[in-house]
Chain A
Amino acid sequence: MAGIVGYGAYIPRNRIKSEEIARQWGKDPQAISRGLLIQEKSVPGLDEDTITISVAAGRGAVARAGIDPALIGALYIGSESHPYAVKPSGTIVSEVLGVTPEVHVADFEFACKAGTEAMFVALGLVESGRVEYAMGIGADTSQGAPNDALEFSASAGGAAYIFGKERLLVEVLDTYSYTTDTPDFWRREGEFYPRHGGRFTGEPAYFKHVLSATRAILDRSGYKASDFRHAIFHMPNGKFPLSAGKQLGFTKEQMAVGWVVPLMGNSYSGSSPTGLAAVLDIADPDDLILITSFGSGAASDSFVLRATDLLPQRVERAATVKSMLEGPRHYLTYGEYAKYREKIILND
């Protein structure tokens, strides 16, 4: 059986509070926080991007796996904010992690689903026996247009997973993907900010795919919601995953640990993978874990996972999600945020 042999996450230290953004645009801070269930979000420093976040998360994954990174035969990064339009992020990350040159590398993009997509493909290559180890990373420094609802949620962070067949920290019991063409959110080449279909991103997009994928994997695997200790659903805001989970029969308690969005926002490709990392940080042996991602466009990937005895022994080898969410933070004013996110026009 294949599974996760190492994982790591990274969340930048800079934060901006929802109320600070709301104040900037004359909106009611309480209404925003209540509506989105997001108190604050992570913001990348001027020196942080998908590549540096991937390296930081990847280093944690290598440390927890305790393997020679040169044995990793495939490395995929899912992101909607690859720093280069043309030139892979994955080559830089592979080189820094010591994975090159015998490695298959690709950058993926599938809105917020690109991270689990990278994990899905990495897992498949390991299961097929094509490579011994494969790393899948989800990382983003996502942009929301100023004064758009997305500005309250689009954040930065990522998580990296190494898949292998031995000394598993987590077994992958089943996977399932549900995909249709649904134009709920997009960004054309050369555009700075994404556009979205407003409420169209809800019912026909997020909920249809998350619910369909999760119901199908439960059906296939024969588990029911109550069998799981933890469940993670993609977190475009605080409300959607709780609502989807409730419709699927999951309790708030089952979703509590992986529901990281109130303190970090939606790190897009990094969102559900970071929620999973938060769960793995505290999971007990034999805990069943469900994760369902969502990416606009649109699709959901679901995984049924089970923690092994080894998992708790490896947690302390890298920073936990909780330590980064609740550790030293630097709160930005909207002006600083505008500078950090390069929303201020400068001459070249």
Chain B
Amino acid sequence: MPSPRYWREKANRFHLEAARCQGCGGVTFPARTICPACRGTEFETLYLSRKGKVVTSTVVHVGPNEFQMEAPYAMAVVETPEGGRLMVQVVDCEPSDVLPGLEVSLEFRLIRREGHGGILCYGHKGVPVG
């Protein structure tokens, strides 16, 4: 990933910055300028709490080249208490245990690296609670 792009996405990768629509109350993550639900343009900035519940999940056995060393790894759509949803890897557990309903915390981890010489790209991953 080119570094300007990674840098531009810091707000959501580092801080889980989201937006709550003042029109319909819907939460979008990452933040947008137009609400996908009601087309409202007034938003309140909020930061997703670093916890959530798995909505749906899979275990990737055949991954992209950059992730093949991590396979098999679990991926999940997680919903935070604010109603924000995000796609994350879920780690520090048996991948097959990552099923809908699982409670996870969101922890800062290395997500991908651009070969041996490129930038390191960080963000959040789920870790089962307890």
Contacts and interface: CB of A to CB of B under 8 A. Distances in A.
B is bound to A: yes
B120 A45 contact: no
Interface residues of B, number: 18
A145 B24 CA distance: 58
Contacts of A95: 10, 14
Interface string A18-60: 0000000000000000000000000001111101100110010
A339 interface: yes
A98 B91 contact: no
Interface string A54-95: 011001000000000000000000000001100000001001
A348 interface: yes
A220 interface: no
A45 B110 CA distance: 10
B53 interface: no
Given A52-B122, A330-B92, A348-B116, A96 B110 contact: no
A13 interface: yes
A346 B113 CA distance: 14
Nearest to B120: A83
B91 A47 contact: yes
Contacts of A328: 92
B122 A51 contact: yes
Interface string B97-125: 00000000001111100011000101001
Contact of A96 (B14, B69, B70, B115): B14
Contacts of A13: 92
Interface of B: 10, 14-15, 69-70, 89, 91-92, 107-111, 115-116, 120, 122, 125
6 contacts: A13-B92, A46-B69, A52-B109, A52-B122, A92-B14, A346-B69
The 7 A-B residue pairs whose C-beta atoms are closest, nearest first, are: A47-B109, A55-B108, A47-B110, A96-B14, A13-B92, A52-B109, A348-B115
Interface of A: 13, 45-49, 51-52, 55-56, 59, 83-84, 92, 95-96, 98, 328, 330, 339, 346, 348
